[in-house]
Amino acid sequence: MYPNLTTAGGVRLLVRASDADAAVALLNAQASPAEINQMEAEAVAFSPPETIPLKQLSWGQILFGIVIGIILCLVCQWANKLGTKTLYHYTKDGKRDEAWVYRDGHLAEHLQDRNLDGVWDYWAYYEHGYVVRSELDNNFDGKPDETWTYSNGDLISMEKDTDFNGVPDEFCTYKYHILQQADMKPNGSKFTTTREIFQNGVLTEIWRGGDSNGHFKEVVRYDPFFNPISTNTAVAFQLLSPPSK
Ligand SMILES: [Ca+2]
Ligand SMILES: [Ca+2]
């Protein structure tokens, strides 16, 4: 008997009455070994593919994957900050008037073109987030004439080239960003020729005629409205006190 006819319930075969004997004989016939081998080969060939169950990830593997992802993200961010990048600001009519230069993600320079001639005329340099020096080109010849110096973010001094010949002439000191004193040392002079004294940022005294010994010929004091109120010289005093009619 064929192997597939041995299953529970067997099979039903509907034939004409005249073929009944032949059908019974067919059902009762024994399959040859060759036929059985062929049927087994066909069964194997048409059997459904073996399904491999999915392997479930453990919590440890999931956590490891998350940590690796975060590390890769941080590395990408760090690598993206390396190098020098410059951001620009433009006026409404498209002129580039300001720039910020970042090195390795930190602000290093701030530049401005104040007269919009296409040439930078203001430069500020930063270290560790603080401005350490700024320079201004006030006659717009491309060369700085004014240098401001900072310490821990506080303005402490300023040098100014007042005749624009490349040599500083005016030297100012500051405290809490407030002007304290301004000394005029024209074009590399070793001594101060004129000194201005300020209180709370307001001019109170001008010393003139300074020499190499640190002496000044004239000292004039001023009120808060820059009116002279006293002097150490008779000539200046006459200027302060108009002659009576
Ligand atoms: Ca300019
Ligand atoms: Ca200049």
**How far does residue 110's CA lie from ligand 2's centre (Å)?**
18
- pLDDT at residue 62 in the model: 86
Ligand sitting nearest the alpha carbon of 114: 1
> Which residues of the chain register pLDDT less than 70?
1-13, 47-51, 53, 73, 76, 235-245
- pLDDT at residue 244 in the model: 47
Neighbour tally for 171: CB within 10 Å: 16
202: which residues sit within 8 A by CB, 6+ positions away? 224
Determine the Cα–Cα distance for residues 181 and 170; give it in Å rounded to an integer: 10
**How far does residue 227's CA lie from ligand 2's centre (Å)?**
33
> Residue 88's beta-bridge partner residues?
99
> Where along the chain do its domains lie?
1-48
**How far does residue 135's CA lie from ligand 2's centre (Å)?**
10
- pLDDT at residue 200 in the model: 97
- pLDDT at residue 41 in the model: 81
pTM flag (> 0.85): no
